[in-house]
Amino acid sequence: MYSFVRLNNEQLSSYAELTFPSLREELLSESREPSVIAIGAMLFGKPIGLVWGKYWARYGYGQIKTIFVIDKYRRRGIGGSLLREMELAFEQLGCKEMRFDYRHDQARSLIWERLFQQTDWSHTYGSLHTFTVSVSQLMELEWVRRQRLPERFSFMTWSELKAEEQAFIEAGKDVWYPASMTPLHKETSKTVNLSVGLRYGADIIGWMIIHEHDEDTVIGDRMYVRQPFQAQGRAVSAMIEAVRRIAEAGFRFARFDVSGNNKQMLRFVERKMKPCLVDSYEVVRLNKRLAVADYA
């Protein structure tokens, strides 16, 4: 008979082979915030399946990183049982919402959808399109080389952000910009010399926040310009200025995400940036809200 067990730190190493090599260090980390939650499936003491994720107690939020069953034991309901065990573990911790993201492809997507639909997961947040561009090729595009900033607009390096400007941005959450686009997100490791702020006169009106991924790649984390400057293409101006700095710093690639609901930006990438794209894929985002029960 199969059995399922909540894994402690000592047991995790026996199951590490059941996750992606790129995620093993993260699985075995001893960080307390967020905490690693893992459920193992075993048969006669042998590991045959694993689901694991992370839980942020401050936010009541959990994310499943991977779920895996060894080939010969698939199609026996073990994956579904692992998922239900994980949901129960998160629920007992007081988790309010769980999420799982997967890279869309024709072969795997149907499998994921069938598995998660069994326990009523949904697509509340839609999909996310991830693009990677060659920085040098982007800088050579004609429309990029033509870009000029009109009078009264100016760029600033993010390290130059003044205290009163930070307070102004903080007060603007869900007023003149969505809170999800805040450049003040504490868990974002900004690279301040590459991140760009945009001013109109003395007022800060937008930003392009960048952080390093590795020695070759940076990630465009949040790009936003307030109304009415969006229609003037000023967000693109901030992006190009950030890319110029990224190129000067010697990074080869830049990666960024676009919501599947942002049809205008997706069309812009297709029309304007396609010549410099080196990779692109769609990430499907699943979520499930949990009823928090009292297990005390």
Residue-level pLDDT, tens digit, the chain, 296 residues: 789 999 998 899 999 999 999 899 889 987 767 899 999 999 998 999 999 999 999 889 999 999 999 999 999 999 999 999 999 999 999 999 999 999 998 878 988 999 998 889 999 989 999 999 999 999 999 999 998 999 999 999 998 998 999 999 999 999 999 998 999 875 455 688 899 999 999 999 999 999 998 899 999 989 999 989 988 889 999 999 999 999 999 999 999 999 999 999 999 999 999 999 999 999 999 999 997 655 44
Per-residue model confidence (pLDDT) at position 296: 46
Q: How far apart are CA 113 and CA 125, in angstroms?
A: 15
Instruction: Please give the pLDDT value at position 93.
Output: 93
Distances in Å between the alpha carbon of 25 and those of 21, 22, 126, 214? 8, 7, 29, 16
Structure tokens at 187: 């868990």
The whole-number pLDDT of residue 191 equals 83
| Strand-pair partners of 52 | 38, 66
Structural domains present in the chain? 2-121 (3.40.630.30), 130-283 (3.40.630.30)
Rounded to the nearest 10°, the torsion over CA 230, 234, 238, 240 is 120
* Residue 96 phi, psi (nearest 5): -95, -30
Distance CA 157, CA 192 (A): 7
Q: Please report the pLDDT score of residue 76 as a whole number.
A: 93
Task: Select from 25, 18, 66, 63 the least CA-distant residue to 42.
Answer: 18
Residues 235, 230: Cα–Cα separation, whole Å: 6
Per-residue confidence (pLDDT) for residue 292, from 0 to 100? 64
Give the C-alpha separation, 86 to 72, whole Å.
Answer: 22
d(CA 99, CA 87): 10
pLDDT at 30: 74
Angle, helices 78-92/109-117, rounded to nearest 10 degrees = 60
**pLDDT of amino acid 203:** 92
